[in-house]
Amino acid sequence: MATEDVFVLHNGVKIPSIGFGTWQIPNDEAYDAVTAALKNGYRHIDTAMSYRNEKEVGRAIREFDLPREDIFLTSKLRASIKDYDAVFEAFEKSRTDLDVDYIDLWLIHAPWPWDEKGADYTEGNIQAWKAMEKLHSEGKIRSIGVSNFSESDIQALLDNCDIVPMVNQIPFYIGRDQESLLTFCEEHNIVVEAYSPLATGELLDHPEVKELAEKYGVTVAQLAIRYCLERNTLPLPKSTHESRIIENKQIDFTISPEDMDKLNAIEDVRK
C-alpha cells in the first residue's frame, strides 16, 4: 500500500517511496553518491553484499549524522547462499560491514546463483528464507523480502514458510511492466520495488518516451520514475551525479491515464 511519501509493508513498516540504488557504484564512489543522496532528501538507501560497497554505504550513513531510525537501509543476501546456517554468517558480515545494529530490509538477491540463472534452487530458497524469518523474529531485520523471484519462486515460500515476503525487487520499467508478476505480488500484499527504472539508461533516447517527457516539461528519467510510482511500484534510481540525484527525486507531477496507456503499450527496449 502506498501514499505519496511511503509504502507500508504488510507488517506495518513504512518505507520511503523512492530509494537510492547503489548497484554498479564502486566502493570508492559509493560514499560520495550516498552522501549526495542523503543531502538531497533521500532517506531510503539500497545496497547488497554482492555490490561490494557496503562499507562505504554504511560510512556515508553514519557520518551524515542523521538518527539511524530516519534512514531506511536495504541490503541483500548473496544469491549463491542457499544454506540455512550460512545465512546467519552472511547477515553478520553485512551488518558488520554496514556498521549498523539492524537492517531495515534484507532480501534474497535472486532465486539462483547468478552463474546458474534459471536453475532450480527451491529447497535452498526455503532454507534461506527460514533463516531470515529467524533473524526477523530476533529483531535484527525489520522486514524481509526477495529479489528477482517469479510467481512460482514466491509460491514455494508461501507453501513452506511462515512469513509472506514483504517485498519483491525486480527489473521494472516502461516497456517491461511484468504484469502477471505485479498482479501476483499485489494479491499477496507484497510491495514491488522497481530496479533499473530507466532500463539501465536505454530509455533515455526512446522517441515516444522523450516526446511525452517534453509534454510534461520533465526529463525522461523523471517520467520513467513517475511511471513506476503510477504503477504502484517503488523505484530505485541511481546516479553518481548530484544534479541527476536531485532531479530524480523531483517528480511532483502525475501522468494522465491516456499517457499511461501509451507508456504501457511500449515494447521492451532491452529485448
161-171: pLDDT as tens digits: 999 999 999 99
Q: What share of the chain is helix, strand, coil (3-state, %, to 5)?
A: 45, 15, 40
Indicate if 173 belongs to the active site. no
Cβ atoms within 10 A of the Cβ of 83, count? 14
Question: Could you tell me which residue, 271 or 156, shows the higher pLDDT?
Answer: 156
242 three-class SS: helix
The pTM assigned to this predicted structure is 0.96
- Would you say residue 242 has pLDDT above 70? yes
In the set 42, 51, 121, 173, the catalytic residue is 51
CA 183 to chain centre: 18
For all residues of the chain together, what is the average pLDDT? 96
What are the strands of the beta sheet with 72-77, ordered from one edge?
20-21, 44-46, 72-77, 103-108, 141-147, 167-171, 191-195, 234-236
**Residues 59-77, mean pLDDT to the nearest whole number:** 96
What kind and span of H or E run contains 192?
Answer: strand 191-195
